Amino acid sequence: MTSRVAAAIDAAHAAGRGAFVGYLPLGFPDLQTSIDAAVLLAENGADVLELGPPYSDPVMDGTIIQEATQTALAGGFRLRDTFTAVREITRRVEVPVLVMTYWNPVMQYGVDRYADDLLAAGGAGLITPDITPDSAADWIAASERTGLDRVFLAAPTSTDERLDLIVQASTGFVYTVSTMGITGERAELDAAARGLVDRMRSRAGAPLRACVGIGISTPDQVTGVLEYADGAIVGTALVRALRDGGLDGLAETARALSAGTRLPA
């Protein structure tokens, strides 16, 4: 099956842009506003949406995202709301929707049931930050059965053997970690991300789509990442914009970030 996420990245490139992947937590500040925010993000330049159901132990997330997810949990967000949100968002926009989820909720829900319900809601796949391909046989089988994308994370500390496994198992793109640690905004991005993308490209037996995330928060940083990667993933800057400026603030920030995706002629 054709990957909708890969197709969106390729379409951005055909239009002379790198891909803009935008992250928002579901349920923040409430479920309906988070749905409207995701739609607005798609309408203001995001090529792929990355939506995070709140989780009680978000080990990868920085302070701003953690605070947002705590607000969502306190507001009564339930796992099933994920599928309600994805269904409503994909009804309103055609941008592919990936769910960024820690693995425990998927296991609790049932891997095949989760895959089937995500597919039925119009979702495109999962980003799974805390499970590696060698531990994900059930999910790999379910994604192959359903055609959902599976996006694994590659880090600068990954061994060559681990990178081979990640590249072979990932579809859509490989989530390339710009720097070790939690998400958030950083004044300067690691040179390690460029080296990591080079390592993966040199080892990939097929065309590799690499999107870089963690620490990207400005249009200039988006532009810099797209010198060597296929897409830039932005989260914290968008969550802050929504928190501080509401939907209008989010739209303004999304447009500014999207303007950074233009590739040199």
The residues carrying an active-site annotation are: 50, 61
Find the helix packing angle between 160-169 and 192-203, rounded to 10°.
Answer: 70
- The number of residues making up the chain comes to 265
Asked whether 50 and 235 are in contact (CB, 8 A), the reply is: yes
Contact partners, residue 76, CB within 8 Å, separation at least 6: none
C-alpha to C-alpha distance for 64 and 47, rounded to whole angstroms: 23
**Tokens 């400005």, residue located:** 218
Report residue 155 as tokens.
Answer: 């880090």
Query: Residue 219, preceding bond cis, omega within 30 degrees?
Result: no
In the chain, where does DSSP find H-type helix? 4-14, 31-43, 63-74, 80-92, 103-109, 111-120, 137-146, 160-169, 192-203, 219-225, 236-259
Instruction: Name the β-bridge partners of 262.
Output: 17
Q: CA 150: distance to chain centroid? A: 11
Helix (H, G, I), strand (E, B) or coil at 1: coil
What are the phi and psi torsion angles at 21 (to 5°)? -105, 120
Contact partners, residue 250, CB within 8 Å, separation at least 6: 37, 40, 41, 44, 238, 241, 242
